[in-house]
Structure formats: C-alpha cells, structure tokens
Amino acid sequence: MGTATRVFTLQDTFRAAIAGQKAVAVWRLPNTDSTQACVQLGPGYATGQPQLERSPFGFLFCPFQPTAQHHNTFIRADVYFDGSTAPPVVADGVPEEEMEKFYRLLNEESKAGWHTVPATQQHFQTAQGFTTAVTKAVEQIQAETMEKVVLSRTKQEALPAGFSPIAAFEAMAAAYPRAFVSLVSVPGVGTWMGASPEILVSINEQQVFHTMALAGTQPVVANVADAIWRQKEIEEQAMVERYILSCFKKLRLREYTEIGPRTVIAGNLMHLRTDFRVDMKEVHFPTLGTDMLELLHPTSAICGLPKAPALEFILAHEGYDRSYYSGYLGPVSGPTGSHLYVNLRCMELQESEAILYAGAGITAESDPQKEWQETEHKMQTMRKVLELLSD
C-alpha cells in the first residue's frame, strides 16, 4: 500500500466520492473513537455470498433478501481513511490515474450530496395495517405454524434543511457511543445510515469469533440493574439463543463460551443479550465466520422461528420490500478484522426525505398496540439524529 501526504477530512472524502460517482462507506466501531472510511474507485459493487477469509479489505452491505434490485454489495477499500490524523492509504494495484482523478476531487470544492435511487415503493404503513398483520401473526403462532415472527414497517420523515450526511454521522456517533455507527452511499444502491446494537458475525485480530442473541425490548430505566423482564421477552430472546446454538450444532462445533443473557442499553431502549465466542485457532476452524454468516442470516432476531414459515409470513403480510433494512453491513478483512452488524436503527436517505425502518418480535403473547409502540421507540434512534440537526 502507498500513502499520500495531505490529510483530508471525512467531509472531503465523502464529498469527493459523491462528486466522482464512487461508492463510499464511513463507520465507527462500538466503544471506540476512530472513524474509518473507504472508497472504491473502479466500477462493480455486486457480489455473491461473502467469503470472509478470502476477501480483500472493504465494506459489505447486504440486503435482507437478495433480489433483482437489492444485491449483496461490496465496497473495495481502494482508498482507506483512518479518520484520525493519518493521510489516506491507497491499496496496491489501484491505477495511478484513478488516484490522481480522486485527489483532484478531494481538492475541489463541490457541493456535498449523496447517492439516491428512485423510490420503487410507497411507504405509508398505517398503524391499522401494522396491527392487523400482528394480529394475524399471533393467530398463526397460536395455531403453531411458527413460534415467532418479526414484523417491521417504515416511516417517512422530512430531512432538515441543509442536511449533511457527515454532520448526521457525527451527531449519531456522539449520541450512540455503544453502537456500530455507519453511513454507506453507493451509486445505484442509495444511501443508508444507522446505529446498530447487534453483531451478526465478528472476527477480531486474534481470530476470536463473536455473535450475539439480542432480543426483548423496553424503554431504558434509570438504573439498568433494576430492569425487570417479562416472560414474553425472556422467551423471545431465548429463541434467538436456541437458533444460534442450532447453527453451531450444524457445524458440529461444541467449544464456545456463552455469557448472558444480560440487560444492555441501546439508545433509548434496553435489550436482553447473550454473547457467544469461539477461539477459531483453538478449534482449527478458519472458515467459521463465513459458515456461520451463511447459516445465521436472517436470524430469528429479525426474521423468526422456524425461519421458513416466518420468512413466508413476512413476505406475504409486511406489505413492503425491506431492501437493506435487517440485512447486514460492516468492514471485512480490515486492520481490526471483520465486523458485520445487523442493519437496524437505520434510515435510507432520499433527495429530501429519510425513510426510517423498525420491527418488533411477535410471539403468542404479543399485544398489537404495544408492538406498534415498540417500532415507534426504535425509530426514535434515527429521529433523534434528525432532530439534533434541525436545532
């Protein structure tokens, strides 16, 4: 890798990528201060099923379900910015003239925007439509065709005047230090940002694999140690645990550590979380991340249990295309490993509006009004970012 000398800001980088019609991802890992960004200079972002250990460094952005419009997307780190003070790092093999073109863009004063795609659907789920779907789901669960299904919805909010994605990213990073905070903008795919509380698959520098069962939701209380969980949430989260264990079992993996469930805070909410870790070197399983990714997604935290009838119910009754919501995203083969998160507490940026996405786990005990409320609370994570920018 070669390096250039001048230090560019995150704002310069993002603006240059948009002006040059390039794909860009900006992210900050939980509980760290360092914002990172990568830009792909050449064309071609669609990719197949991710193979983590063989991947070059880049950023994955994958939908809930791959379709003709929404495909697994990979932003190769042709240029990498480690947000702090270092100049950008240029990957080996990037043609000199491509890099020169990009430097010109970095030095130019162009208007900051973001990549958008024409809206393919209208987003107007009403409370009535959502609660009717929840009622139907509860009936099917009581009839034992499935145990749990996660139903979601969207809401449009106007973007504040003069909206800047980087200012929004910075507001989000400051407001949610424990979250995986990201901003992804890809030609033909669109622009998404979010503050996710949920790891799907993570592999650190020491080759330790980490996934989590995150489910059960209630508004945060002053003292988390006083949190009381109802049987409904305890069971809902236990289903996600069982699902993860069933994936380990399929791979005949018996050596893992399990911690939890514990109460964790995510913005204005609390969840129950169990962490699972595996030392990949100790168990001689170098492809564990790739294999688990293929088995896990979509997990019962965002789809349901069993997977097949829950998915069928979602596709038949949710009434819209989830697109990249509840898909997964994050850096792969980066300086600190591969860290894929579930795309939750997120929004998609259109020209002058944001589309907010949120869902809730439905079980036999679900109350449709409370589930609607829960999606409202989850949307508050992104609404707060828009409010911070309107002040």
Ligand X SMILES: C=C(O[C@@H]1C=C(C(=O)O)C=C[C@H]1O)C(=O)O
Q: Can you tell me the distance from the alpha carbon of 312 to that of 343, in angstroms, rounded to the nearest whole number?
A: 20
Examine residue 344 and tell whether it contacts ligand X (CB under 6 A): yes
Q: Can you tell me the distance from the alpha carbon of 255 to that of 378, in angstroms, rounded to the nearest whole number?
A: 34
- What stretches of the chain adopt beta strand conformation (E)? 2-3, 23-28, 35-40, 58-62, 73-76, 79-81, 89-90, 148-158, 180-186, 190-196, 199-203, 208-219, 257-266, 269-279, 304-305, 328-332, 338-342, 346-349, 353-362
Examine residue 347 and tell whether it contacts ligand X (CB under 6 A): no
Two tokens, residue 70 = 């929404």
Examine residue 301 and tell whether it contacts ligand X (CB under 6 A): yes
Interface residue with ligand X, options 36, 154, 202, 217 (CB under 6 A): 217
Examine residue 210 and tell whether it contacts ligand X (CB under 6 A): no
Examine residue 212 and tell whether it contacts ligand X (CB under 6 A): no
Q: Which is nearer to ligand X, 39 or 215 (CB)?
A: 215
Q: Which is nearer to ligand X, 74 or 313 (CB)?
A: 313
Q: Which is nearer to ligand X, 78 or 374 (CB)?
A: 374
Examine residue 359 and tell whether it contacts ligand X (CB under 6 A): yes
x-or-dash pattern for ligand X, window 170-209, by CB under 6 A? Answer: ----------------------------x-----------
φ, ψ (nearest 5 deg) of residue 20: -90, 10
Q: How far is the CB of 365 from ligand X (least distance, A)?
A: 13
* Strand partners for 92: none
Q: How far is the CB of 203 from ligand X (least distance, A)?
A: 20
Q: How far is the CB of 255 from ligand X (least distance, A)?
A: 26
* Strand partners for 45: none
φ, ψ (nearest 5 deg) of residue 190: 110, -170
**Among the residue ranges 38-46, 64-72, 122-130, 352-360, the one whose residues contact ligand X (CB under 6 A):** 352-360
Q: Can you tell me the distance from the alpha carbon of 152 to that of 7, in angstroms, rounded to the nearest whole number?
A: 42
Q: Please state the length of the chain.
A: 391
Interface residue with ligand X, options 63, 334, 337, 361 (CB under 6 A): 361
Interface residue with ligand X, options 20, 58, 190, 216 (CB under 6 A): 216
- 3-state DSSP call for residue 297? coil
- Residues near ligand X (CB under 6 A) are 150, 152, 198, 214-217, 271, 301-302, 344-345, 358-361, 378
